[in-house]
């Protein structure tokens, strides 16, 4: 059997609304100085909850209602069952996407590693905006609740904004608008890897007591099918929360710096196909169980694990603690989504 070497990239999420820390875009991810300068908002106004032109609002609502009308039968078929199973929800969204994409607009699913159909239209808009050319593009998102989100990005030659509208189904299967908003985009970039990164204008202290994160990333240019497969199979389980497997520099000759205690529950999920559950009072994992799980995937010995991980010799247990508000503060990076961007097949 051929061994496969997987090269990883740290991709800062898709759209992350649960983050509490506000992080600016990394300037190294911007193609050049000119693009970075052109994509920074200079106006001092707040830039969020802006008034919406009535004609534009009516157009957005009509568009959403039209799309909801053509996906109604699909939603009715999956109504209720998509909430119970992720695979079923993805099947529903994929069928919805197939219908929505026929209008020629870009469309993406809200599931991880979703492919943006008609991405060329979004890419052309972004590349034109980099050249300070005015334009707009509409992106539809098929959501797990059976509804849709419509986002209209506009660039006026200086600034970019986005008008977002969300529509869901009522109990009697009628479309209902839940919100529509217009916000300026504080800064943005379209990276060489095909990611649209931007930061919305959001309320800031002292107007609010908690930090609101307006950072968003959308993959425009799709990953290959192979990369998506390996992303789901090998790196999505780990992410960047509670372990350092994908965000530290290590190799087979230098594995001392890995957080083995934090990694245990993620390798457990890979090995047994279910999430690790433990009683609240559990503070450690018996050595034999811990070593069996870790050594299934990493070339380390029992002796090395006892030396490098947090191990209690008296109880013969490896220390483990459930992540919670008392020992972990969510960050934009920690909640982001990793991707496999290249797969290299070795001869051995």
> What is the per-residue pLDDT across 131-152, written as a single tens digit (0 to 9) for each?
999 999 999 999 999 999 999 9
Q: Binning pLDDT at 50, 70 and 90, where does residue 164 land?
A: very high
What is the percent of the chain with per-residue pLDDT over 90, rounded to a whole number? 62
Q: For the segment 183-234, what is each residue's pLDDT rounded down to a tens digit?
A: 999 999 999 999 999 999 999 888 888 878 888 989 999 999 999 999 988 8
Q: What is residue 329's predicted lDDT score, i.e. its pLDDT?
A: 61
pLDDT in tens, 242-283: 889 999 999 999 999 999 999 999 999 999 989 888 766 677
pLDDT in tens, 283-340: 799 999 999 999 999 999 999 999 999 999 999 999 998 776 656 666 666 667 899 9
| Distance (Å, whole) CA 245 – CA 266 | 10
pLDDT at residue 346, as a whole number: 84
Instruction: Please state which of the ranges 21-25, 106-110, 169-173 shows the lowest mean pLDDT.
Output: 21-25
Residue 164: other Cβ atoms inside 10 A:
18
Residue 137's pLDDT is what? 99
The percentage of residues in the chain with a pLDDT greater than 70, rounded to a whole number, is 82
More confident site: 84 or 29: 84
Work out the average pLDDT over 96-107.
97
Separation between Cα atoms, residue 266 and residue 41, nearest integer Å: 41
Lowest mean pLDDT among 38-52, 91-105, 196-210: 38-52
Distance CA 18, CA 330 (A): 8
Looking at residue 321, what is its pLDDT?
A: 82
> Which pLDDT does position 31 carry in this prediction?
37
Indicate the average pLDDT of the chain.
85
- What is the pTM assigned to this prediction? 0.76
Contact between 282 and 319 under an 8 Å Cβ cutoff? The reply is: no
**What per-residue confidence (pLDDT) applies to 336?**
77
The pLDDT score that the predictor gives to residue 115 is 95
Identify which has the larger pLDDT, 225 or 43: 225
Residue 64 pLDDT > 60, yes or no?
yes
């Amino acid at each position: 059997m051929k061994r496969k070497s997987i090269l990883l990239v740290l991709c800062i999420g898709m759209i992350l609304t649960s983050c509490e820390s506000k992080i600016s875009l990394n300037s190294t991810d911007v193609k050049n100085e000119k693009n970075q300068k052109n994509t920074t908002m200079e106006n001092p106004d707040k830039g969020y909850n802006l008034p919406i032109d009535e004609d534009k609002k009516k157009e957005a609502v009509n568009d959403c209602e039209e799309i909801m009308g053509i996906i109604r039968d699909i939603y009715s078929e999956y109504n209720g069952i998509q909430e119970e199973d992720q695979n079923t929800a993805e099947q529903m969204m994929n069928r919805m996407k197939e219908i929505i994409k026929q209008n020629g607009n870009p469309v993406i699913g809200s599931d991880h590693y979703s492919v943006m159909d008609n991405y060329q239209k979004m890419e052309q808009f972004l590349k034109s905006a980099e050249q300070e050319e005015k334009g707009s593009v509409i992106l539809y998102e098929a959501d797990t609740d059976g509804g849709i989100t419509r986002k209209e990005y506009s660039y006026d030659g200086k600034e970019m904004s986005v008008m977002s509208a969300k529509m869901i189904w009522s109990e009697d299967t009628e479309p209902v608008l839940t919100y529509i908003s217009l916000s300026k985009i504080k800064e943005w970039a379209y990276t060489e890897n095909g990611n649209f990164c931007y930061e919305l204008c959001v309320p800031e202290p002292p107007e609010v007591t908690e930090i609101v994160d307006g950072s968003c990333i959308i993959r425009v240019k799709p990953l290959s099918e192979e990369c998506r497969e390996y992303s789901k199979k090998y790196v999505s389980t780990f992410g960047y929360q509670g372990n350092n497997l994908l965000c530290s520099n290590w190799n087979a000759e230098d594995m001392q710096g890995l957080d083995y205690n934090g990694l245990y529950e993620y390798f457990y999920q890979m090995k047994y196909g279910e999430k690790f559950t433990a009683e609240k009072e559990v503070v450690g994992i018996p050595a034999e169980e811990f070593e069996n799980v870790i050594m299934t995937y990493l070339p380390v010995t029992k002796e090395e694990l006892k030396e490098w991980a947090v191990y209690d010799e008296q109880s013969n247990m490896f220390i483990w603690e459930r992540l919670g508000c008392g020992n972990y503060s969510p960050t934009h990076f920690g909640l982001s989504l990793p991707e496999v961007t290249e797969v290299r097949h070795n001869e051995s």
